[in-house]
Amino acid sequence: MTDAPVFRRLCLIGIGLIGSSVARVVRQRGLVGEIVASARSAETRAKVMDLGLADRVEADPATAVLGADCVMLCTPLGAYPGIVRHIAPHLAPGAVVTDVGSVKGCVVKEIGPLIPAGVHLVPGHPIAGTEHSGPEAGFAELFEGRWCILTPPPGADRAAVDKLAALWRGAGSMIEEMSPEHHDRVLAITSHLPHLIAYTIVGTATDLAEDIKAEVIKFSASGFRDFTRIAASDPVMWRDIFLNNKEAALEIMQRFSEDLTALQRAIRRGEGDTLEDLFTRTRDIRRRIVEARQA
Amino acid sequence: MTDAPVFRRLCLIGIGLIGSSVARVVRQRGLVGEIVASARSAETRAKVMDLGLADRVEADPATAVLGADCVMLCTPLGAYPGIVRHIAPHLAPGAVVTDVGSVKGCVVKEIGPLIPAGVHLVPGHPIAGTEHSGPEAGFAELFEGRWCILTPPPGADRAAVDKLAALWRGAGSMIEEMSPEHHDRVLAITSHLPHLIAYTIVGTATDLAEDIKAEVIKFSASGFRDFTRIAASDPVMWRDIFLNNKEAALEIMQRFSEDLTALQRAIRRGEGDTLEDLFTRTRDIRRRIVEARQA
């Protein structure tokens, strides 16, 4: 890229799968002038420098944010309030504060009031990931062709939103703006429910006697293994997602449980038509996902 | 392969994803002398000849089985009794009759009594597949490195079992023998429950209002799309699986429902430790699947 960088200095707080992928892509494409990372553990900080992910790495996020015109929170959601309280007095005037968390209502509600006047909060959520965690797991192409949802609060600074959108577009993403509430309702279905179910089914298998568990592993290629991939995602990150999107997650779980009960009943009664009808209807959504190039 | 073929003439009844993959691999590796296929629809029969999947294709399975030393049922389970009643008088003495269905108890129970004396029933189940259906969807490598479970009834002819095992080994599979009941219990967990859940969650999404459904498709990369892949599997095949493995499927669904309810409760009460604990425990099974090279 020969264009000027979108931000002069990007500060990444937390540098796992997403943070390290952001670091790689912005570096590779010259999207920012300088990268400063902050990580809690000395081990992660050493890895960040070994992998060349940042120009500088700091233990204290308050030091890391100094002079940054973009600060991106890439830790589990539960860590946000503590971090933001700690960094708030040190944020540069005019800086954009954003994040990559999977729930957005709680960010606006809990983090919004902590942001000083003249600093712009623009929460974000790149719809991308793998089941792997940590700074080694990231890669520059993670966001290519994937959506990134921005949920600017009412009255958000348009220039700040546009700059953040430009950063994500530069990383290969397509941008969509929506309200935090709407985001949380959509993601409850597309992401939170699937993960919860995957964790549950793998948990159900984990509780089986060892002999049958060994066979479940052996013959997992028949469907089960796809769930184990999802259920290998970062535990703390997912704990925080469910604690912070309780309402929407519980509502969709309730619908799912009802649908599952209806299906159980159809099996018990031997209602072949009901089963075939459902199994046929579900193919349509797959077709639309393939057509939307998100398969 | 320079070895003699395992069977002189293999008759495939039904030639979708699995049947056509068997046809491709046995042809490619010289595992059988001749392939005769039988398909109900004229369209499929034309495709079989176009794709060069068989030496001969017959509309009537009774004609197809004539002189075959191995007959493999590759249709949905529900079609077995009708087919076997029809072909039984035409089976060659000493022939091996097998299948590739996902439930085994019902095969032994319902098909066993229909097989004439001197013909050997050895049910089988290759643990392999994709979400695609039809003769174009098959490929010769489908069984490579995957398990194939054989469930010979008590007193089964050892030579017949060994020949069938040799065929599947030649196709790249590893062989495991077990009782039909045990097979059905293990597969209820590894395959039937995952499919039922995937169908349910995609069904839940299908019932949403169109505006939110469009967004579910758009943002499906966040977990949901993995379920849609599974839920795109063949509807009739899966209808028959649930109708024929009712007990084991309902039992494991019941456990799953209880576990899901417990998790719902933990979310409602904000019990972060319970969630994190489960989400951590589930990683172990994934690790074991990766180690077993079934990931």
Cα separation, A74 vs A53, in Å, equals: 14
Token duo for residue A9 = 């200095």
Contact partners, residue A37, CB within 8 Å, separation at least 6: A11, A12, A13, A15, A19, A23, A45, A48, A53, A54, A56, A57, A58, A64
pLDDT in tens, A189-236: 999 999 999 999 999 988 888 888 889 988 888 788 888 888 888 999
Residue A1 has pLDDT above 70, yes or no: no
Q: Give me the helices (H) in chain B, please.
A: 17-28, 42-50, 61-64, 80-87, 105-106, 158-170, 180-187, 193-206, 210-218, 224-230, 235-244, 246-268, 272-291
Residue A132 has pLDDT above 50, yes or no: yes
Mean pLDDT of A130-138: 92
* ipTM for the complex shown: 0.87
| Chain B environment of A264 (Cβ under 8 Å) | 250, 253-254, 257
Contact (CB<8Å) B190/A261: no
Cα separation, B124 vs B99, in Å, equals: 5
Q: Which of B78, B129, B283 sits opposite A232 (nearest CB)?
A: B283
Contact (CB<8Å) A226/B223: no
The CATH architecture one would assign to domain A7-178 is 3-Layer(aba) Sandwich (3.40)
CB contact A143 to B (< 8 Å):
no
Q: Which of A212, A229, A280 sits opposite B286 (nearest CB)?
A: A229
Q: From the centroid of its chain, how far is CA B48?
A: 20
CB contact A230 to B (< 8 Å):
yes
Q: Which of B186, B270, B286 sits opposite A231 (nearest CB)?
A: B286
What does pTM read for this prediction?
A: 0.86
Q: Which of B215, B236, B289 sits opposite A217 (nearest CB)?
A: B289
Residue A220 carries which DSSP code? G
Contact (CB<8Å) A189/B203: no
Interface of A with B in 158-177 (CB under 8 A): 176
pLDDT at residue B156 in the model:
94
Q: Hey, is B71 helix, strand or coil?
A: strand
pLDDT at residue B2 in the model:
52
Residue A52 has pLDDT above 70, yes or no: yes
pLDDT at residue A20 in the model:
98
Strand partners, B175: B148
Interface contacts (A, B; CB < 8 Å): 302
**What residue spans in chain B does CATH classification 1.10.3660.10 cover?**
182-291
Q: Which of B282, B284, B287 to mutate to test the interface with A (most CBs of A within 10 A)?
A: B282
**From its phi and psi, is residue B127 left (phi > 0), alpha (psi between -120 and 50) or beta?**
beta
Measured in angstroms, the CA of A169 and the nearest CA of chain B are apart by 16
Measured in angstroms, the CA of A225 and the nearest CA of chain B are apart by 6
- Kindly state which CATH superfamily the domain A182-291 is placed in: 6-phosphogluconate dehydrogenase C-terminal like domain (1.10.3660.10)
Contact (CB<8Å) A282/B202: yes
Residue A263 has pLDDT above 60, yes or no: yes
| Chain A environment of B257 (Cβ under 8 Å) | 257, 260-261, 264
Residue entry with tokens 């992910």: A53
Positions of chain B with pLDDT under 50? 1
**What residue spans in chain A does CATH classification 3.40.50.720 cover?**
7-178
Token duo for residue A151 = 């949920």
Residue A17 has pLDDT above 80, yes or no: yes
Q: From the centroid of its chain, how far is CA A261?
A: 31
| Chain B environment of A287 (Cβ under 8 Å) | 232
Strand partners, A20: none
Contact (CB<8Å) B128/A221: yes
pLDDT at residue B92 in the model:
98
Q: Identify which of B173, B291, B203, B193 has the alpha carbon closest to the alpha carbon of residue B251.
A: B193
| Chain A environment of B288 (Cβ under 8 Å) | 217
Kindly tell me the burial class for residue A52, based on how many C-beta atoms sit within 10 Å of its own C-beta (0-12, 13-18, 19 or more): exposed
Q: From the centroid of its chain, how far is CA A17?
A: 10
Contact (CB<8Å) B280/A235: yes
Is the C-alpha dihedral spanning A170, A180, A142, B199 positive or negative?
Answer: negative
Across chain A, mean pLDDT equals 94
pLDDT in tens, A140-187: 999 999 999 999 999 999 999 999 999 999 999 999 999 999 999 999
